[in-house]
Amino acid sequence: MVSVINARDLAWFVTRQIVGSLGYDDCVIYFLGDQGKCLNQVAAIGVKNSGNNEIRNPLTIQIGVGVTGQVALTKKTMLVPDLRLHRNYVRDIEQGLSELCVPIMFGDRLYGVLDSESKLVGGFDQEDREIFETVSRLIASKLALIEQTELNNEYATELEQKVAVRTRELKIANEKLEWLVSVDSLTGIFNRRRLDETLEIEVERSSRYGESLSIILFDIDHFKTVNDTWGHQVGDEVIAGVARIAKELTRKSDVVGRWGGEEFLIIAPQTKLAGAEAFAEKLRGALEDVRFPSGIGITASFGIARLQYNEPVTLLLNRADQALYRAKRLGRNRIETGAEFGYSCKEE
């Protein structure tokens, strides 16, 4: 019985042992129905067994009806020496002449009944009763253990599901938090913090694999005049519009973000200087042609730098920044490139 893990298998195991090992002619186990109003035959060895784990015409007996129903109602063993004298006997496939029926109980909990009929009058005695009551207690203990195990498994499954749901919620919340701390609230593109992290990663990757990397730093020309003339709300709309255009024109592999104020940075992996210049010119022209609220037109100045061999991030940014300010000194709305001092990561 120790190795049995479910109630149905337990019922069949016990009925086989009672008939096969203990030598009784018949054994049937009933389990209490879901509503607790009836008994259902779940296992039988003897005249009702038509094959392995099969019952011919399984009975359902109401509580209080017949010997088995009376035992379930009173929760007391009944030994009927002569069923012909029992007015409430429920006949099954064959007429029995005597019957022994024992409740299967664990504490006050009724699980069902253990029943056996004999073709002989007086087919059971007190010793048989003690045997069946002992077996019944073993069945009840095992059923209680199975029930507790199932409840524990259900609880564990429910807990796992709750943990899984909570884990997904936390993942979504963390992703949202990561997005919030990485994205500029005004423009919806990456902020300075995320740009710094990304640039460090891309510089390391380019240096390791010998790939080209270029950055484009650009700034809205005369932006202070926009704020002073039209107000900061219009100025915010201009910044957001510039960010949208830059985002639309960049490749999926590029990273665009707000470097600060009206200044933006584009990180372009696997891009040589000529490719970065061509893109910057495309973006410069698009910004020059667009009209913002109240008919405002703007221009932008660009500084470009390509990563050099063993060049630190700070120096790369400094060269792009110097190129940007050179573009402003030379009249704005133009593109300048940072002076190169050595070899790029990938020779051109």
Report whether 46 contacts 19 (CB < 8 A): yes
The model's pTM:
0.56
Q: Which CATH number is correct for 192-337, 3.40.50.10860, 3.40.50.920, 3.30.70.270, 3.30.70.1450?
A: 3.30.70.270
In this structure, is the dihedral angle defined by the CA atoms of residues 72, 6, 54 and 14, taken in order, positive or negative? negative
* Residues acting as catalytic residues: 262
Confidence of residue 181 (pLDDT cuts 50, 70, 90): confident
Per-residue pLDDT tens over the stretch 218-239: 999 999 999 999 999 999 999 9
Contacts of residue 212, Cβ cutoff 8 Å, sequence gap at least 6: 206, 270, 271, 272, 306, 307, 344, 345, 346, 348
pLDDT in tens, 253-291: 999 999 999 999 999 999 999 999 999 999 999 999 999
CA–CA gap between residue 219 and residue 106 (Å, rounded):
82
Mean pLDDT of the region 311-334: 96
Sequence spans of domains, the chain: 7-151, 192-337
1, 142 contact by CB (below 8 A)? yes
Residue in 81, 149, 74, 69 with CA at minimum distance from that of residue 118? 81
Q: What is the pLDDT of residue 35?
A: 82
Q: Which CATH class is domain 7-151?
A: alpha beta
How confident is the model over 134-154, as pLDDT tens digits? 999 999 999 999 888 888 888
